[in-house]
């Protein structure tokens, strides 16, 4: 009597679905086979269950509109609209009035335009959040954020270059007054252009490794891999160097009063205030990032905290106009003239009064309406 059992016990595999061939000349007790089958089944390897917390995508990719993200998203959009208006007004005021055509004015206007480009990123983010789509692929995110990343980088470096420019104006005032402005500004633009090019090449190479990765498309999400961390490190170093420049400038203005020009003195307070706001915004962001990493926060907590931590940076980008209005007499006069130009076109009268000690005033009559305007020289 022969019994033929195809029983792969040596490999410890499951018997379910495998044939059992039995010679009909012998009788066999079913309990023996069932016992052997049960033993093999029980001895099979179990699949480990993951205890890792879910990622933001795993938790919310099918949840539709995330209502708890909408207040912060709306705040980003509001700050963006305010920043676009203010920063374009700064650039236009610099272009319009020759009194502001110094090296500092040109760098400030370039930085203002860059901040405007940076904040354009939030429009697409708002579309994703308010539409309920929430996520897009990494390739689309990088393409959409290419111009905002350039703006973010240029704005960061322009803040630093303005600090260097002010430092040079107090350390070498005579040489700074006769410097070739075209070559001087071009040098700064070349430096930041090379850095932007290198940064974008690294971003696109990293993106091509996993272009379909789902992302919420924050501007930081568009710097995949180690690119974002490298950029953030350079950002902190640059901001610290900028603050150091202004500290030195402040010391020189206080103890070497004869070497500084009137233009440097007029602009120092407003530029220092802008730098302080930018530095504080990034410092808050950096502290939050460090704390999250130290606490090993869950991915969902990490995302929400980082999302709200971006607000101080955007507040800083949107407040340039108001800081200059408050601390810089030259820009305040130029802004008031802009406001009166708009109000004259809409409501046919001046909305704000020009400073009484403005150097040149002239009376103009437009369509029967009399207004006072200022001509800056």
CATH number at residue 114: 1.20.1070.10
For residue 214, list its beta bridge partners: 137
Lowest mean pLDDT among 90-94, 150-154, 291-295: 291-295
Helix or strand or coil: residue 180?
A: coil
Q: For residue 226, what are the contacts with CB-CB under 8 A and spacing of at least 6?
A: 206
The distance in angstroms from the start CA to the end CA of the chain is: 117
- Indicate if 72 and 162 belong to the same structural domain: yes
Last residue of a domain, one of 211, 246, 268: 268
Read off the pLDDT band of 229 (50, 70, 90).
confident
Decide the pairing of beta strands 21-22 and 3-4.
Answer: antiparallel
- Indicate if 124 and 21 belong to the same structural domain: no
Q: Is 283 contained in some domain?
A: no
**What residues make up the domain containing 253?**
64-268
Read off the pLDDT band of 111 (50, 70, 90).
very high
Q: How far is CA 167 from CA 75, 156, 243, in A?
A: 35, 17, 11
* Measured distance CA(27)–CA(12) in Å, rounded: 26
Read off the pLDDT band of 123 (50, 70, 90).
very high
Helix or strand or coil: residue 362?
A: strand
| Total of domains in the chain | 3
The confidence score (pLDDT) of residue 40 equals 44
Read off the pLDDT band of 50 (50, 70, 90).
low
CB 319 within 8 A of CB 277: yes
* Measured distance CA(6)–CA(20) in Å, rounded: 6
- Indicate if 22 and 156 belong to the same structural domain: no
Lowest mean pLDDT among 42-51, 134-143, 322-331, 355-364: 355-364
Q: Is 202 contained in some domain?
A: yes
CB 292 within 8 A of CB 306: yes
Last residue of a domain, one of 211, 240, 268: 268
The confidence score (pLDDT) of residue 211 equals 93
- Indicate if 16 and 151 belong to the same structural domain: no
Last residue of a domain, one of 268, 292, 311: 268
* Measured distance CA(257)–CA(251) in Å, rounded: 10
* Measured distance CA(277)–CA(66) in Å, rounded: 30
Q: Is 55 contained in some domain?
A: no
* Measured distance CA(55)–CA(304) in Å, rounded: 12
* Measured distance CA(377)–CA(365) in Å, rounded: 21
In the predicted model, is pLDDT for residue 97 greater than 90? no
- Indicate if 96 and 17 belong to the same structural domain: no
- Indicate if 193 and 151 belong to the same structural domain: yes
- Indicate if 11 and 91 belong to the same structural domain: no
- Indicate if 121 and 203 belong to the same structural domain: yes
The distance from CA 54 to its chain's CA centroid, rounded to whole angstroms, is 25
Q: Is 325 contained in some domain?
A: no
- 299-319 mean pLDDT: 88
């Amino acid at each position: 009597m022969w019994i033929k059992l195809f029983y792969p016990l040596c490999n410890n595999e499951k018997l379910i679905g495998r044939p059992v061939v039995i010679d009909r000349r012998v009788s066999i007790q079913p309990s023996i086979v069932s016992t052997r089958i049960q033993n093999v089944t029980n001895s099979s390897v179990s699949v480990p269950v993951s205890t890792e917390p879910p990622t933001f995508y795993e938790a919310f990719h099918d949840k539709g509109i995330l209502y708890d993200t909408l207040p912060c998203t709306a705040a980003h959009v509001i700050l963006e609209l305010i920043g676009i208006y203010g920063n374009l007004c700064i650039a236009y005021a610099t272009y319009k009035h020759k009194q502001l055509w110094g090296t500092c004015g040109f760098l400030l206007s370039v930085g203002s335009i860059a901040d405007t480009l940076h904040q354009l990123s939030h429009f697409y983010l708002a579309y994703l959040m308010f539409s309920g789509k929430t996520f897009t692929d990494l390739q689309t995110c990088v393409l959409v954020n290419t111009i905002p990343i350039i703006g973010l980088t240029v704005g960061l470096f322009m803040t630093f270059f303005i600090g260097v420019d002010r430092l040079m104006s107090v350390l070498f005032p005579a040489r700074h007054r006769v410097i070739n402005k075209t070559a001087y500004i071009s040098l700064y633009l070349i430096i930041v252009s090379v850095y932007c090019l290198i940064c974008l090449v690294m971003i696109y190479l990293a993106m091509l490794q996993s272009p379909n990765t789902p992302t919420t498309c924050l501007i930081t999400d568009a710097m995949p891999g180690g690119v974002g961390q490298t950029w953030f490190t350079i950002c902190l170093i640059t901001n610290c160097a900028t603050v150091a420049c202004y500290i030195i400038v402040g010391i020189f203005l206080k103890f070497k009063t004869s070497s500084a020009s009137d233009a440097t003195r007029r602009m120092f307070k407003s530029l220092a205030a802008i730098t302080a706001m930018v530095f504080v915004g990034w410092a808050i962001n950096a502290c939050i990032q460090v704390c999250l990493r130290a606490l090993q926060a869950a991915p969902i907590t990490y995302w929400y905290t980082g999302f709200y931590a971006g607000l101080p940076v955007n507040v800083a980008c949107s407040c340039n106009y108001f800081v200059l209005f408050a601390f810089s007499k030259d820009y305040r006069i130029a802004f008031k003239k802009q406001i009166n130009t708009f109000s004259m076109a809409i409501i046919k009268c001046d909305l704000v009064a020009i400073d009484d000690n403005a150097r040149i005033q002239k009376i103009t009559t437009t369509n029967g309406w009399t207004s006072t305007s200022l001509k800056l020289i």
